[in-house]
Structure 1
Amino acid sequence: MIFTNAISWFEIPASDIERAQRFYEAIFDIKMIPLDFPNLQMRMFPINNPMNIGGALVHNADFYKPSATEGPMIYLNANPDVQTILDRIPAAGGTILVPKTEISPDHGYMAVFIDSEGNRMALHAIPPGMAQ
């Protein structure tokens, strides 16, 4: 098997799905897509091509638990500039833990934040003109 991407789908736990949706729509300036099932509420990040990496906010109190300290940390695409997204986080109800930080000239910039649900999340961007 050949991997083109290590990730194919991700799910971000939400205690309050509507609050989480407002947060992510505000910081990324997007409209999320609702998809609800009897025991699971989802708000999917928009993607242009179903073959691309996708993900969603998810709520099921018995299965998903937001955490600021445990579990994997997901780096969300903040191209072309991490700072644009960081600037929106406090007003949307989040907290910045690590400000925009250069990883290296070849790997761009990153930052870490806590979302409206208490999840530790990260941003990554490789601005135009940086080595790729």
Structure 2
Amino acid sequence: MSESTPAPLNTVTWWEIPTTDLAAGKTFYAAVLGWSFTSFGDDENYAGILNGEELVGGLYRVEPDTPTTSPVRIYVNVPDLEATLAAAEAAGGSVLTPREEVGGDMGWWAEIADPDGRWLGLCTGSPAAG
């Protein structure tokens, strides 16, 4: 998605793949899918995934004893983060992480759990309402 095209709302716009060895993960996904990587925060624990020139996701380091069934994390882009967090709680879910800045000019994120405790990430480019 280009910088001039807004991210679609209420759909997955970011995802992250777990790996116990960031360098090995980069090598594997570069060979298999042709992805390249960019520094994104802590180089030892996280790397942005580039598909061509488009930043599409992240590769994150997990502990070696993390089950191999550790999920790919997905983030849904929402127009109003606080309203979505409130709706999650009103529907029987919970807020795991309230609004936090991604960093730079990349917006904000939060985490919720559904009533069964299943995790879902949220993201937005919209600042908190005044």
What interval of TM-score do these two structures reach, taking the shorter chain for normalisation?
0.3 to 0.5
Q: TM-score, structure 2 length as denominator?
A: 0.41
More strand by share: 2
